[in-house]
């Protein structure tokens, strides 16, 4: 599976997913705001890229634009989302539907609401086979049972007839993952797949995702606000703040020596070697409202390095070492700090 991908699939060098300059605008009662502003990243098959950021930073919006599931109130206003080299943003709805499942797939955070409450789970898991492979109900059911076995649902044959509310949270997340990997997509987007679960179950789910990724040679985009998950699980990381990418690069390098004060602030707030009785370090303040993102650097209000140039001029991402970039005028100073 890992070595013999068919020739139609992209060769090793072309990324499975290549997002370039993605912009998403959101209509709100008080006007249009830019929720995602020029986000770029790419990920190859077999690799994991983490989109890291606080809630509201645009990481989920980015994910939904990639799979074409934005709410009607939001619209992609610029950029490209290339899958196997083709820009999905320029495709017709029918063309995009052909990619949805066999090429691109997504797992959501809340598996209870992500599963249809009035359909037996077996039918939902078999649905990709009905849609894309034109299998009969019976064949799709068999496929669903195979997948349920694979993701570790006990007694899958009986359980295929059960409804989502009859499963535990962890089991539901397994079902959702089974459904997402049914057609072995090139790219799997996992939007906070473990946030709603307790810690031991989280570890099992991350483990399952990793195994499935290896089996099926998928590129995984992992959306999370959990630094530990990024450190354990991802190859590369894209740090987002207020709709923009502030830093990206290999996880090991970025976490060892962040080149953006925001990344540094996040890493410092991990309560690893904090002293009992002393307040935990945190990034002071909170992210700007999307309607009030400043003209200069998006992070200026919370940045310890801020100076006059940051207010005047928005920093563009510039190379910051091997395969890395950071959007900060003064990233070199972080090495010394």
In angstroms, rounded to a whole number, what is the distance separating the alpha carbons of residues 259 and 253?
Answer: 10
- Chain residues binding other proteins by CB under 8 A are 64, 67-69, 71-72, 97-102, 104-106, 108, 110, 113-119, 127-128, 131-132, 163, 165, 176, 179-180
3-state per-residue secondary structure call for the chain: CCCCCCCCCCCCCCCCEEEEEEEEEEEECCEEEEEEEEEEEEECCCCEEEEECCCCCCHHHHHHHHHCCCCCCEEEEEEEEEECCEEHHHCCHHHHHHHECCCEEEECCCHHHHCCCCCCHHHHHHHHHHHHCCCCHHHHHHHHHHHHHHCCCCCHHHHCCCCHHHCCHHHHHHHHHHHHCCCCCCEEEEECCCCCCCHHHHHHHHHHHHHHHHHHCCEEEEEECCHHHHHHHCCEEEEEECCEEEEEEEHHHHHHCCCCHHHHHHHHCCCCCCCCCCCCCCCCCCCCCHHHCCCCCCCHHHCCCCCHHHHHCCCCCEECCCCCEECCCCCCHHHHC
- CB nearer to other proteins: give 188 or 326: 188
- CB nearer to other proteins: give 183 or 298: 183
In angstroms, rounded to a whole number, what is the distance separating the alpha carbons of residues 67 and 111?
Answer: 18
- CB nearer to other proteins: give 113 or 274: 113
- CB nearer to other proteins: give 68 or 317: 68
Q: Give the nearest distance from C-beta 108 to other proteins in angstroms.
A: 6
Q: Give the nearest distance from C-beta 223 to other proteins in angstroms.
A: 14
Q: Give the nearest distance from C-beta 191 to other proteins in angstroms.
A: 10
Q: Give the nearest distance from C-beta 104 to other proteins in angstroms.
A: 8
- CB nearer to other proteins: give 163 or 311: 163
- CB nearer to other proteins: give 99 or 334: 99
- CB nearer to other proteins: give 106 or 239: 106
Q: How far apart are the first and last CA of the chain?
A: 46
Q: Give the nearest distance from C-beta 231 to other proteins in angstroms.
A: 28
- CB nearer to other proteins: give 68 or 265: 68
Q: Give the nearest distance from C-beta 38 to other proteins in angstroms.
A: 25
Q: Give the nearest distance from C-beta 120 to other proteins in angstroms.
A: 8
| Neighbour-count burial for 141-157, b at 16+ CB within 10 Å, e otherwise | bbbbbebbebbebeebe
Q: Give the nearest distance from C-beta 70 to other proteins in angstroms.
A: 10
């Amino acid at each position: 599976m890992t070595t013999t991908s068919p020739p139609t699939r992209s060769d090793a060098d072309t990324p499975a997913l290549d997002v370039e300059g993605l912009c998403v605008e959101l209509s709100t009662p008080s006007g249009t705001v830019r929720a995602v502003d020029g986000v770029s990243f790419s990920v190859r098959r077999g690799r994991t890229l983490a989109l890291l950021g606080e809630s509201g930073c645009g990481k989920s919006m980015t994910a939904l634009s990639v799979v074409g599931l934005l709410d009607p109130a939001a619209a992609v206003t610029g950029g490209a989302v290339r899958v196997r080299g083709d820009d999905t943003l320029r495709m017709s709805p029918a063309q995009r539907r052909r990619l949805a499942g066999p090429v691109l797939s997504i797992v959501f955070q809340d598996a209870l609401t992500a599963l249809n409450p009035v359909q037996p789970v077996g039918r939902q898991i078999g649905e990709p086979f009905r849609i894309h492979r034109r299998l009969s109900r019976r064949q799709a059911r068999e496929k669903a049972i195979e997948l349920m076995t694979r993701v570790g649902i006990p007694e899958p044959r009986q359980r295929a007839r059960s409804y989502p509310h009859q499963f535990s949270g962890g089991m539901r997340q397994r079902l959702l993952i089974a459904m997402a990997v049914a057609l072995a997509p090139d790219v799997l987007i996992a939007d906070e797949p473990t946030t709603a679960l307790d810690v031991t179950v989280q570890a099992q789910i991350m483990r399952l995702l990793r195994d499935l990724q290896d089996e099926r040679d998928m590129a995984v985009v992992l959306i999370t606000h959990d630094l530990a998950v990024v450190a354990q699980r991802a190859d590369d990381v894209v740090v987002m703040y207020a709709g923009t990418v502030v830093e990206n690069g290999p996880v090991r390098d970025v976490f060892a020596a962040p080149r953006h004060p925001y990344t540094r602030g996040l890493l410092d707030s991990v309560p690893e070697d904090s002293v009992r009785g002393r307040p935990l370090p945190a990034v002071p303040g909170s992210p700007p409202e999307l309607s009030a993102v400043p003209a200069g650097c998006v992070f200026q209000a919370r940045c310890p390095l801020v100076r006059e140039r940051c207010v005047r001029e928005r920093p563009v991402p510039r190379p910051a070492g091997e395969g890395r970039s950071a959007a900060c005028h003064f990233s070199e100073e972080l090495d010394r700090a």
